[in-house]
Chains A and B, each alone.
Chain A
Amino acid sequence: MAEIALETHGLTMRFGGVVAADRVDFRLQARELRCLIGPNGAGKSTFFKCITGLQSPSEGEVWMRGIETTGWMPHQVASLGVGIKTQTPNVLDSLSVHENVWLAARRFHGAREADRKTREVIDLLDLGAIAKDGLGRLAHGERQRVELGLVAAGDPWLILLDEPAAGLGAEDVERLTGIIRELNRQATLVIVEHDMQFIRSIAETVTVFHQGKVLMEGHVDRVMSDPVVRNVYLGRKA
């Protein structure tokens, strides 16, 4: 049996009277790539934040590679070897691309090894031409790509991405698809995403969230043709 990379038991998150995530049981094999989908407010982002430590769940447990990480801080989760990209771009604006990636690499490597790793990541993500530019001056697509570089620089075995394709043009999305495939050779991935076309191009298995619960889990084609899922997405009529 393959190793379990990520697992939650009864994960629940309440904000006042609102239950944003409701007893979510989730399980992911190592090297799997899973997309989380669902309409706005379905709870997938809350679920994501509870896993990454950005929020602490009200109830339930989170396990990563057999270690319980419930209620950990983001830096503790990241230190396990988990790469995280949040929904809003989080980069170091007044530093250069090289500095950004170097700082990410330095967390897991000595200074000299971090230099080498930085060059490697910059090559991998094709950032060489802009390596010396400050992040504040880059276009949105480039910033997204740099942030993926920050994730990749830590050699993570588990990667959590919140809407990586948001706001990207067709060309950038294509590039992103390639990068994600590349990352998936080493790591398990969880991707929260809206863009169905993009999801079809990268994922086989998707998990559908609805009203804080897991509505369905299965192959992307089967899920998308399911009448219940179509109902959730398109409203009551379909």
Chain B
Amino acid sequence: MPGGLTRDAVTIALVTGVLIWVLPLIVGTYTLTVLAIYGMLGLSLGLIWGFGGILCFGQAAFFGLGAYAYAIFAINIGESTVPMILAVLVPAVFAALLGAMMFYGRLGDVYLGVITLVVTLILYKVVNSTAGPQYVIGNARLGGFNGIPGFPTLNVPGTPDAYIWGDRYFHVCAVLLGLVYMLVTALLRSSFGRIAVGIRENETRMSLMGYDVRARKTAMFAIGAGIAGLAGGLFANWAEIVTPSLFSLGQSAEIIIWCIVGGLGTRLGPVLGAAGLAYLKFLLGQQAVIDNALVTGLVLVLFVLFLPKGVVPALSDLWSAGIGRIRPGRIGRRRQPRRRGWPNG
């Protein structure tokens, strides 16, 4: 096992390195930066949904919390290192509390969907209504629907004057995506990850084996939220403004679409789905004939109907069929997670 993990880590590092070198020849680094950030966001939901079996309609909530946490603390602290850490911790703690409330209440799938969706909406409405000078956290005005602009962006840790921007910021985001990808890989190879996949498959069985399903799902949920929060913090730096639309249902829907299109139960699928669809959206945004939402919606409907397991698993099935042999699958890899008949659903 440890040998396999080292090999995976080397592969991921190499692929990340090559992509950082090649992709800027094709697409601008400003666009690539946000694609990497969305990739990370897609991976966060891909982890908890595809491997943890937790259907979250509100992943955008953690993304937005991360972005706002970064912006608010960056204004108050005046540098970026601590705010970046808090951008991970604030959503993770929030998710741990929310998750504990849901999972310890043994709520079924649909209810999970409702509650995460409603919580996202609450955050959206609350943040949206904070226009006015009375809504401040420290020195940071929340600004309601106008959001918070003008916070210090990322700097070299320990040197608040050395800002990281442009190509270098792209490198930071891409490397962080690679690191998060490695972290997710290691997590899924660990006992914790394998047990999480077991819980996705059959909660009752896992609890009869003696595993505390509630605690483990809560932990998984918090980890996913932490990754989404990191993506949010990075996004805040990229956009240089945070607005309530980060919490919007449309944002949540997009994350779900990335996962479905890319493929649940894979690590690569949600990352590719996110980057690919976000790039498509970027291209569509440059013309005015067809509306963006129309295309995204159509893509989701068509995938649910015709390719529910997503692009990456479908391609890898084709690949193994072409090679003519099927390797015994490792846990959770190239196996389609069940999206219907969920345990406890």
A residues engaging B (CB < 8 A)? 52, 73-75, 78-79, 84-86, 90-96, 99, 102-104, 106-108, 111, 132, 134, 150, 154
Does B210 contact A154, Cβ atoms closer than 8 Å?
Answer: yes
Q: Which residue of the partner chain B has the closest CB to A105?
A: B209
Chain A residues positioned under 8 Å from B1 (CB to CB):
111
Given A94-B335, A150-B209: A103 and B202 interface contact (C-beta under 8 Å): no
Q: Which residue of the partner chain B has the closest CB to A106?
A: B191
Q: Which residue of B194, B198, B202, B207 is within 8 Å of A75 (Cβ)?
A: B207
Q: Which residue of B197, B208, B331, B335 is within 8 Å of A86 (Cβ)?
A: B208
A75 to B191, CA, bound (A): 17
A92 to B204, CA, bound (A): 10
A102 to B191, CA, bound (A): 10
A90 to B343, CA, bound (A): 11
The contact size tier of chain B is 20 to 34
Does B204 contact A86, Cβ atoms closer than 8 Å?
Answer: yes
Q: Which residue of A78, A99, A106, A132 is within 8 Å of B208 (Cβ)?
A: A78
Say yes or no for B168: interface residue by CB 8 A criterion. Answer: no
List B residues 304-344 near A (Cβ within 8 Å). 328-329, 331, 335-338
Q: Which residue of A73, A78, A95, A132 is within 8 Å of B198 (Cβ)?
A: A95
Given A91-B202, A99-B331: A107 and B336 interface contact (C-beta under 8 Å): no
Q: Which residue of A74, A84, A92, A111 is within 8 Å of B202 (Cβ)?
A: A92
Count of A-B contacts with CB under 8 A? 74
Which of B194, B204, B207, B335 lies at the interface centre, i.e. has the most chain A CB atoms within 10 A of its CB? B207
Chain A residues positioned under 8 Å from B331 (CB to CB):
95, 99
Chain A residues positioned under 8 Å from B85 (CB to CB):
none
Chain B residues positioned under 8 Å from A104 (CB to CB):
209
A178 to B42, CA, bound (A): 50
Chain A residues positioned under 8 Å from B198 (CB to CB):
92, 95, 99, 103
Nearest CB on B from A106, distance (A): 6
List B residues 60-84 near A (Cβ within 8 Å). none
Does B201 contact A92, Cβ atoms closer than 8 Å?
Answer: yes
B residues engaging A (CB < 8 A)? 1, 191, 194-195, 197-198, 201-202, 204-213, 328-329, 331, 335-338
Does A91 contact B328, Cβ atoms closer than 8 Å?
Answer: no
| 10 residue pairs from A and B, CB less than 8 Å apart | A74-B204, A75-B207, A91-B202, A92-B206, A93-B201, A94-B336, A94-B338, A95-B201, A103-B198, A132-B328
Chain B residues positioned under 8 Å from A102 (CB to CB):
194
Does B210 contact A107, Cβ atoms closer than 8 Å?
Answer: yes
Nearest CB on B from A81, distance (A): 9
Chain B residues positioned under 8 Å from A106 (CB to CB):
191, 194-195
Given A96-B328, A103-B194, A106-B191: A91 and B211 interface contact (C-beta under 8 Å): no
A132 to B330, CA, bound (A): 10
Nearest CB on B from A195, distance (A): 23
Does A93 contact B210, Cβ atoms closer than 8 Å?
Answer: no
Which of B198, B212, B337 lies at the interface centre, i.e. has the most chain A CB atoms within 10 A of its CB? B198
Q: Which residue of the partner chain B has the closest CB to A92?
A: B201
Nearest CB on A from B287, distance (A): 42
Chain B residues positioned under 8 Å from A134 (CB to CB):
335
Chain B residues positioned under 8 Å from A107 (CB to CB):
209-211
Chain B residues positioned under 8 Å from A150 (CB to CB):
205, 209
Chain A residues positioned under 8 Å from B194 (CB to CB):
99, 102-103, 106
A95 to B196, CA, bound (A): 12
A52 to B207, CA, bound (A): 11
A205 to B150, CA, bound (A): 79
Does B208 contact A84, Cβ atoms closer than 8 Å?
Answer: yes
Chain A residues positioned under 8 Å from B338 (CB to CB):
93-94
